[in-house]
Amino acid sequence: MSPPQQQQRSVAELLEHLHLESSQPPDERFAWLHRHSQHTQHPLVQFEFSKTHLTLRIVPKRLRRTGDRGRKSASHEKAPSTGSSSSSSEEGEKPRDPIFMKLQWDEVLGAHLQMACGQPLCRRSIVPRRVYMLALYACPSEGLMTNGSQQHHHHLHHHKDDLPTKRRLREWTFRFYGDEIERVTQLHHALNKWADPRRDSLEEIHTQALFKPDEAISGPQRKFRVLIDPSEGAGWSLRKYEQFVAPMFRVANIETTLEITADVERIREIAKQLPLNHFECVAVAGGDNYLHEFIQGLMARPDWKQAIRQPLGILPIDSGSANGLAASVAHHGHENLDLVNSAFTLVKGRPQDLDITS
């Protein structure tokens, strides 16, 4: 029998002893690492947190407990050192396991617990030996990951400096059993907290105590007000929003209040009645004129000096000449001008001052 598992007191200790089985093969951006590898297409992975990156490493067989090799998720204990260990192990250095995936925290949107069928997980219906899923969502660039051992960082996104970054929403799922729900919930909370752009960038995972069972996912719920111009994009604005933008807001744990209107007076009225400090962002899915009318409503308020500080975002339904402001924002952030990149900027970006009069 294996010795009883030691009680973890911090998230870092929990991550060190938690392995989940991936439902997908290793990220294609790291294909050069796995070309001659004997690892399974659905390996056990371990999550590593740093200030800037989330790294998932493939768990080598030497660190897996014998009784857990057939399980879909497993805990492990460090294997004792032997005389055949490498020199780095003898010196006390941790061997570097193959990378399954590596993401910048600026690319990670959030994580969700799901049933095996993909539906949201209800904690009250957990069955110990049933399989569940942890889904991780990110919006990385489509550039390749290269072996930059001669550079300051080991792995960098490779794309031409004169080309904007093109992104797409990605999902990875990891299997676990119901009897591990408490530990996986801790990982779930940690992923959402570190993916939140409001997090202190200097915070260390080693100082993070275990989350309370009833603790919120990542602090106060983020709230966006979304206004959609139904006439934009040849009348396909709502469908494009639901296809490209709404899923990103959902996986990033953002609550949205949606309104569809093309009435100029209604747009201004919404701006005049907008409660300040309630919405983290007002996202306008329309052209420059649509946003201009909303700003006119803010400027007509008695408290316009405070109201004009409300963070605004623009979602370009199409890339025509009526989206000059969206093009400028995308160019400033070195992002591609499309809905996915624009939604990503709203989810992960921070408010910046913008001169809209000169």
Q: What is the pLDDT of residues 167-209, one digit of tens each?
A: 999 999 999 999 999 999 999 999 999 999 988 777 777 778 8
Say if residue 56 is in the same domain as residue 168. yes
CA-to-CA distance for 233 and 19, rounded, in angstroms? 46
pLDDT at 331: 83
pLDDT tens per residue across span 8-18: 678 888 888 89
Stated as kind and residue range, the H or E segment containing 265 is helix 264-273
Residue 207 lies in a domain: no
For residue 25, tell me if it sits in a domain.
yes
How many domains are contained in the chain? 2
DSSP β-bridge partners for residue 89: none
Looking at the domain assignment, is residue 249 inside a domain? yes
Q: Are residues 127 and 274 in the same domain?
A: no
**311 assigned to some structural domain:** yes
User: What are the residue ranges in the chain where pLDDT is below 70?
Assistant: 1-8, 26-41, 61-96, 143-162, 213-220, 233, 319-322, 356-358
Its domain, for residue 183, covers 11-60+97-147+163-195
DSSP string, 172-220: EEEEEEGGGHHHHHHHHHHHHHHH-TTS-TT--GGG-BPPPTT--SSSS
Q: Rounded to 5 degrees, what are φ and ψ at 329?
A: -65, -45
Predicted TM-score of the model (pTM): 0.80
Q: Answer whether 14's CB lies under 8 Å from 210's CB.
A: yes
Measured between alpha carbons, how far is 319 from 324 in angstroms, rounded to an integer? Answer: 9
Closest CA to 259 of 283, 278, 243: 283
